[in-house]
A and B are shown apart, each in its own frame.
Chain A
Amino acid sequence: DAKTTQPPSMDCAEGRAANLPCNHSTISGNEYVYWYRQIHSQGPQYIIHGLKNNETNEMASLIITEDRKSSTLILPHATLRDTAVYYCIVSLYNQGGKLIFGQGTELSVKP
């Protein structure tokens, strides 16, 4: 079973920041938090991952709480093309592509 809990859906206005929460209260010390997204009819796409420090790349920022029991993915300026299902996954670093997906959050970016 997935070790994360996410809201099933969220809306965001185009150009605004999208903040997607994830709870992972049972995360162990050597597990990372990964985020993937899946645009309709495509394969999942890696976004970002982190262990305990906040991370930023060209796509998004990842904020992990100090106790590591929750995290937030931030898309700073959402566009219509960011409409997708976003999955938060906890996984051991060397597991690579062995991922246990939950239901994810369906993000709708509206004009």
Chain B
Amino acid sequence: DTGVSQNPRHKITKRGQNVTFRCDPISEHNRLYWYRQTLGQGPEFLTYFQNEAQLEKSRLLSDRFSAERPKGSFSTLEIQRTEQGDSAMYLCASSSPRALNTEAFFGQGTRLTVV
């Protein structure tokens, strides 16, 4: 297992376009998390899934954002009608509550630039 994988690593898009990011968690990790990180700030929690159920959404997740995890494995995060303020690093993490340590394992992130 190579860890949490995120694609693409970088995305440049024009304002108003839709973008979709993919996250493949560590296999058998049933919890998956999305974070957003802007320059100079710590990551901000956006949402999390336990298996295919989206259990919590931050108020940061506006109506233009939607996340799915249809089969309880990989997840997608879509941003519709992108704005310049959406430019950030989008991080995905996974964890397993059955493990002795419930630490989160993060991917390398997808850096979004909206021009």
Answer yes or no: A80 CB below 8 A from chain B CBs: no
Contacts A43-B107, A98-B33; A93 near B102 (Cβ below 8 A): yes
B28 / chain A contacts, CB cutoff of 8 Å? none
Q: How many whole Å from B31's CB to the nearest CB in chain A?
A: 5
Q: Is the CB of A104 within 8 A of B42?
A: yes
A49 / chain B contacts, CB cutoff of 8 Å? 101, 103
Contact with A along B96-115 (1 / 0, CB 8 A): 11000111111111000000
Q: Is the CB of B42 within 8 A of A97?
A: no
A98 / chain B contacts, CB cutoff of 8 Å? 33, 45, 48, 56
A45 to B93, CA, bound (A): 10
Choose one: B44, B94, B102; the contact of A95 (CB below 8 Å): B102
Q: A96-B95, A104-B42 given. 18 additional CB < 8 A pairs? A: A42-B109, A43-B106, A43-B107, A44-B93, A44-B104, A45-B106, A46-B103, A46-B104, A49-B101, A95-B102, A96-B33, A96-B96, A97-B31, A97-B102, A98-B48, A99-B43, A99-B45, A103-B42
